[in-house]
Amino acid sequence: MILIPAIVFIITISDFMHLLNSDKLYKNKFRSFKYQLEKIGMPVFITSLTTAIGFLSFMFSSLVPLFRFGVITTITIFISLIVIVVLYSFIIEFNINKNIRSNKFLDDLILSFINIKKSQFYILLASFIFLSSLAFTNFRVDNFLTDEINKKSNYIKDISFFDKEFGGIKPVTFIINDNPSRDNLDSLENIILSHNLVIDFSSDFLSKKISQNLNNSQYTIKARMQDIGQVNQRLFLMIY
């Protein structure tokens, strides 16, 4: 759900810029509005429609978050389309579009960048490199399950309570196929517990009984870990 504002913003701004790009301005405001909707409005609507159909395909997913993401994004795209059309009508009504066409600020800004001096160019380049380096040094990778949940909801409070008081909310499964001894299994369980994981279930005895007929031993240990979400903590799971 975090992606929805960014997606809608990109789609809305591009559609609105297309509506503002008018090659004819009539004295009659209604005629100008109608001309722009017939020439630009219909392609913009078709573009929004095809984009909405793409997001609507998530409705066929069995995952509830993806289903909601597709529905909300589709509805929001059409609401945004109505908003920008209404906003464009106000621009026509108050003759703001004439001021936009006659404004040379953007052209002057582009020319100033083209005619920039070498000393100023080096200053801008140094600033860009400094800011880029600062961004890379503060870059981090997280994988929190609660990132998509409203921080003010009661649901996040319940998850935080179980994550803190009951050993965690992330399920972890360990599968051993090498027919280890009981001592090795106890050692593995101790290692798991030493990393602040909680063991919920161990299927070693059940698997051993079944494997006598299958000539194959497989041991499963199901545990839970806290929602720490860091890369170095996930490496522990990969190692074991």
Same-domain pairing of 101 and 155: no
The overall average pLDDT reported for the chain is: 79
Last residue of a domain, one of 57, 84, 119: 119
96-150: pLDDT as tens digits: 766 555 556 667 777 777 788 777 888 888 999 999 999 888 876 677 777 777 7
Same-domain pairing of 168 and 66: no
206 compared with 181, residue with greater pLDDT? 181
Same-domain pairing of 151 and 225: yes
Q: Is the pLDDT of residue 208 over 60?
A: no
Question: Nearest-5° angle of CA 60, CA 65, CA 67?
Answer: 25
Same-domain pairing of 155 and 101: no
Last residue of a domain, one of 82, 103, 119: 119
Same-domain pairing of 20 and 108: yes
Q: Is the pLDDT of residue 207 over 60?
A: no
Question: Nearest-5° angle of CA 183, CA 189, CA 195?
Answer: 140
127, part of any domain: no
209, part of any domain: yes
Determine contact, residues 150/156, Cβ cutoff 8 Å.
yes
To which residue do tokens 């997606």 refer?
7
pLDDT of residue 75: 92
**174: helix, strand or coil:** strand
Same-domain pairing of 44 and 88: yes
41-82: pLDDT as tens digits: 888 999 889 999 999 888 888 888 888 888 999 999 999 999
Domain interval for residue 196: 145-239
137, part of any domain: no
Same-domain pairing of 157 and 234: yes
Same-domain pairing of 174 and 228: yes
Q: Identify which of 185, 188, 178 has the alpha carbon closest to the alpha carbon of residue 211.
A: 178
Q: Is the pLDDT of residue 32 over 70?
A: yes
136-147: pLDDT as tens digits: 888 766 777 777
135, part of any domain: no
112, part of any domain: yes
Strands in 33-135 per DSSP E: none
Last residue of a domain, one of 82, 102, 119: 119
Joined together, the tokens standing for residue 149 give: 């949940």
200, part of any domain: yes
| Dist CA 64 CA 26 (whole Å) | 50
Same-domain pairing of 188 and 226: yes
| Residue 145, number of CB atoms within 10 A of its CB | 12
Same-domain pairing of 51 and 90: yes
Which range scores top for mean pLDDT: 92-96, 124-128, 190-194, 196-200?
124-128
Same-domain pairing of 149 and 235: yes
Residue 38 binned pLDDT confidence (cut-offs 50, 70, 90): confident
144 compared with 87, residue with greater pLDDT? 87
130, part of any domain: no
pLDDT of residue 100: 59
72-85: pLDDT as tens digits: 999 999 999 999 99
Question: Mean pLDDT throughout 152-176?
Answer: 84
227 compared with 107, residue with greater pLDDT? 227
The phi and psi torsions of 153 (rounded to 5 degrees) equal -80, 160
Sheet strands side by side (includes 198-202): 170-176, 219-225, 198-202
Q: What is the domain count for the chain? A: 2
Same-domain pairing of 26 and 94: yes
124, part of any domain: no
To which residue do tokens 């395909």 refer?
57
